[in-house]
Amino acid sequence: MEFKHKPVLLEETIKGLDIKKDGIYVDGTLGGAGHSKQILKRLEGTGLLIGIDRDDEALKAAKVNLQEFQNVKYIHGNHDEINKIFEDNNIPKVDGILLDLGVSSYQLDEKERGFSYLGNNDLDMRMDRNQTFTAKDLINTYSEEKLANIIFEYGEEKYSRKIAKNICEVRKNEEIQTTLQLVEIIEKSIPKFAKNNGHPAKRTFQAIRIEVNNEIKPLYNTILDAINLLKQRGRLCVITFHSLEDRAVKKAFEKAEGICTCPKELPYCVCGAKQLGKIINKKPIVATEEEQEENTRSKSAKLRIFEKT
């Protein structure tokens, strides 16, 4: 399948990176390379782009999409391990890093990957297929309480406890193996009057995907690591699609800007606030109405930008 992925907030991100034509830039979520292609055009063959992705299929597609460019280095890896990636590949401090978080349109459209609640496919949802833990493992081994908590926290699903209970009831008699089995359980768990706000399985599938790929927990530290890998005046651009992602990015940016988190009643700072740079936009940049109409995925997108000093 062709790796189709329309880059979200493209112009705003390219502007935010403030690209120098001889600079070194990292796309930590390479995907279909929509953002990277525009970065490379501005490097004019004199700079270097390093593309990182945990999905082998994404890297293959990116190599095709960027075949006209020679100044690209491709790395199979997880951006959460960005420190190790830099060390293993002898990458120096860089001028800019981009993280476009979440699942790609291609991964959703390739039904056999199990990300989509449409069709009948294996419960997989791994962004990195070298990973052994799958959505099927999660659904069939997590306790009822843990399932409910994940679906509620990551999916913001108000019927999480009912869904978790019904999952556990079904798996007593048979292993839940396919997306269709899971969708049927979810649909039976949600009352009819609550099914008029998109597909009833959307929130639960999102939650499971986030847990399978550990998308939230390491993010705060990943952002701080990325900032430390920037040159002076280098920039980090992060696009999020989930409130928990955005919250982690915001907190990491505030930490890096040196905002004191001590209680106001203390006479002096004890939290060790240290300024690493500045937040470029205090409020996240969101897609224009025009982009939201053209690309529904952009409706929940938020861009935050940080500059190293």
Instruction: Tell me what pLDDT residue 50 has.
Output: 98
pLDDT bucket at 5, cuts 50 / 70 / 90 = low
Quick: pLDDT tens for 142-185.
999 999 999 999 999 999 999 999 999 999 999 999 999 999 99
Does the pLDDT at position 1 exceed 80? no
Does the pLDDT at position 39 exceed 70? yes
Structure tokens that stand for 147 in this block:
């399932």
Quick: pLDDT tens for 246-300.
999 999 999 999 977 788 888 888 877 789 999 999 999 999 999 999 998 899 9
Quick: pLDDT tens for 54-108.
999 999 999 999 999 999 999 999 999 999 999 999 999 999 999 999 887 667 6
User: Looking at per-residue confidence, does 6 or 93 come out higher?
Assistant: 93
- Please give the model's pTM, rounded to 2 decimal places: 0.91
Instruction: Tell me what pLDDT residue 82 has.
Output: 98
Contacts for 206-209: CB closer than 8 Å, 24+ residues apart: 206/154, 206/155, 206/242, 207/150, 207/151, 207/152, 207/153, 207/154, 207/155, 207/157, 208/125, 208/135, 208/138, 208/139, 208/150, 208/151, 208/155, 209/103, 209/115, 209/125, 209/135
CATH no. of 10-102+216-308: 3.40.50.150
What ranges do the domains of the chain cover?
A: 10-102+216-308, 118-212
CATH class entry, domain 118-212: mainly alpha
Instruction: Tell me what pLDDT residue 3 has.
Output: 52
Quick: pLDDT tens for 179-230.
999 999 999 999 988 777 789 999 999 999 999 999 999 999 999 999 999 9
CA dist 135 and 78 (Å) reads 19
Sign for the pseudo-dihedral over CA of 184, 190, 191, 193: negative
